[in-house]
C-alpha cells in the first residue's frame, strides 16, 4: 500500500503538471489551443520549459562550412519568449525547428535539444544507480540492502525470465545489453510521466536507434543455420523457395521496424490521451468536467506506470527472441 506521503506527492505533482500545461498552452489573447498544447509537450524543442515563464535555454551547436558554431537558444527569442524573425547567427526558430535564414546554407545540427538533455540526465541517473548496486556486490556474502535490494529482483527477473529462456545457453554474452536496454526504456518511460519531462521514449529517433542496435546484434550474431534458413529454407520444394525468400528478407527488416513503432506509438499515444483529458478542463472551464477529468488523469497515470514496465519488458523480450533465433543450433 502507498503511504500518505506518497499520495500527497502524487497529487502535488499532478497539480503542478495541470497548471504547467494550462499556462504553456494559453495564447496571448487567452484562447486555449489543445492541439498546440499537446504538440508542444510531445515534440522535441531547443528549450527546456520547466513551467510557464521558467525556461532553461539549451545550447545550439551547428557545423557549417566555416566551422563549428555554439550559442544559446535564448538568442533566438525576445524577452517575452517569442521567436525573433531576424534570427541569430544565420538561424531562426520556427515552430520547434531550427532553420537557416539562407535556404541554401548546408549545415549539420548537433544541438542539445530537450530530448537530448533528458537522455543525458537519464543516462547519468542510471550510471549513479547501477554503480551503487554494483558496489553492493563487492562483498559476495553481504545481504542486499538499500537500493541494491530494490533492483536485484528486477535484474534477476530480466535474466531468468526474459533473456535466459529466449536466448538459451549462450545468454550471458548478451545479458549486459539486455539489462541496459530494459532499464533504459523503463527509466525513460517512468521519468517521462513527471511534470515538464521530455517525451524521450516517445521520440521515434530514440526507438529507431534502439531497434537498430537489436537489428545489428541479431544479424551479426546469426550463425550459418540462421542465414541458411533465410536464403535456402530447408525441407521445402525448390519452387516454394522463390516465394519464401522475399518473405524471409522482409521479416529481417520488419522485426526491428515493429520494435521501433510499437514503443514509439504506445508511449506517444499514452501522453496524447493524458494531455487530452487535462485539456478538457480548460476547454469546458467547468468544475464538474475538471473533477472527472482529474480522476481520469490519475487513473491514466497509474495505467501509464504499468505500461512503462510492459513496454520495457516487450522490447527486451522480442530482442531476446530475435537474437535467440539467430544463434540457435540446427535442429
Q: According to the model, what pLDDT value does residue 156 have?
A: 93
252 and 230 in contact (C-beta within 8 Å)? yes
Q: What is the pTM of this model?
A: 0.85
Give pLDDT, residue 9: 52
Q: How confident is the model at residue 14 (pLDDT cuts 50, 70, 90)?
A: low
Q: Where does the pLDDT of residue 30 fall: very low under 50, low under 70, confident under 90, or very high at 90 and above?
A: low
Provide DSSP, 54-118.
EEEE-EEEEEETTEEEEEEGGGGB-TTSPBPTT-BTTEEEETTEEEESSTT---EE----HHHHH
For the chain, the structural domain boundaries read 59-111, 115-327
pLDDT in tens, 259-298: 999 999 999 988 888 888 888 888 887 778 878 888 888 8
pLDDT at residue 29, as a whole number: 42
Query: What mean pLDDT value characterizes the chain?
Result: 84
Residues for the chain: how many in total?
Answer: 331
Instruction: Measure the CA–CA gap between 19 and 196, rounded to whole angstroms.
Output: 11
Query: Residue 173: is its pLDDT beyond 80?
Result: yes
pLDDT band at 37 (very low <50, low <70, confident <90, very high): confident
Q: Per-residue pLDDT tens for 188-200?
A: 999 988 877 888 9
Q: What pLDDT does residue 2 have?
A: 46
pLDDT tens for each residue of 86-124: 888 888 888 788 888 888 888 898 999 999 999 999 999
Average pLDDT score over residue span 127-148:
83
Amino acid at each position: 500500500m502507498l503511504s500518505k506521503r506518497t499520495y500527497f506527492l502524487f497529487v502535488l505533482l499532478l497539480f503542478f503538471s495541470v497548471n504547467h500545461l494550462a499556462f504553456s498552452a494559453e495564447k496571448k489573447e487567452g484562447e486555449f489551443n489543445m492541439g498546440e498544447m499537446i504538440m508542444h509537450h510531445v515534440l522535441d524543442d531547443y528549450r527546456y520549459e520547466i513551467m510557464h515563464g521558467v525556461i532553461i535555454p539549451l545550447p545550439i551547436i551547428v557545423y557549417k562550412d566555416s566551422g563549428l558554431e555554439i550559442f544559446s537558444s535564448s538568442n533566438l527569442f525576445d524577452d517575452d519568449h517569442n521567436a525573433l524573425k531576424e534570427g541569430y547567427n544565420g538561424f531562426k526558430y520556427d515552430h520547434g525547428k531550427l532553420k537557416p535564414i539562407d535556404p541554401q546554407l548546408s549545415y549539420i545540427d548537433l544541438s542539445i535539444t530537450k530530448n537530448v538533455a533528458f537522455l543525458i540526465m537519464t543516462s547519468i541517473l542510471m550510471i549513479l544507480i547501477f554503480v551503487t548496486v554494483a558496489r553492493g556486490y563487492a562483498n559476495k556474502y553481504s545481504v542486499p540492502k538499500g537500493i541494491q535490494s530494490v533492483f536485484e529482483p528486477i535484474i534477476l527477473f530480466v535474466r531468468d525470465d526474459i533473456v535466459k529462456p529466449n536466448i538459451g545457453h549462450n545468454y550471458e554474452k548478451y545479458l549486459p545489453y539486455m539489462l541496459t536496454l530494459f532499464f533504459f526504456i523503463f527509466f525513460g518511460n517512468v521519468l517521462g510521466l513527471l511534470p515538464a519531462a521530455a517525451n524521450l521514449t516517445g521520440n521515434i529517433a530514440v526507438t529507431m536507434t534502439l531497434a537498430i542496435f537489436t537489428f545489428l546484434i541479431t544479424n551479426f550474431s546469426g550463425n550459418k543455420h540462421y542465414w541458411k534458413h533465410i536464403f535456402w529454407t530447408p525441407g521445402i520444394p525448390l519452387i516454394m523457395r522463390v516465394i519464401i525468400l522475399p518473405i524471409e528478407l522482409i521479416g529481417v527488416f520488419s522485426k526491428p521496424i515493429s520494435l521501433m513503432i510499437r514503443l514509439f506509438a504506445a508511449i506517444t499515444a499514452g501522453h496524447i490521451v493524458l494531455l487530452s483529458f487535462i485539456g478538457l478542463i480548460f476547454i469546458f472551464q467547468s468544475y464538474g468536467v475538471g473533477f472527472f477529468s482529474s480522476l481520469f488523469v490519475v487513473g491514466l497515470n497509474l495505467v501509464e506506470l504499468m505500461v512503462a514496465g510492459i513496454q520495457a519488458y516487450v522490447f527486451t523480450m522480442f530482442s531476446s527472441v530475435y537474437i535467440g533465433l539467430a544463434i540457435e543450433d540446427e535442429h
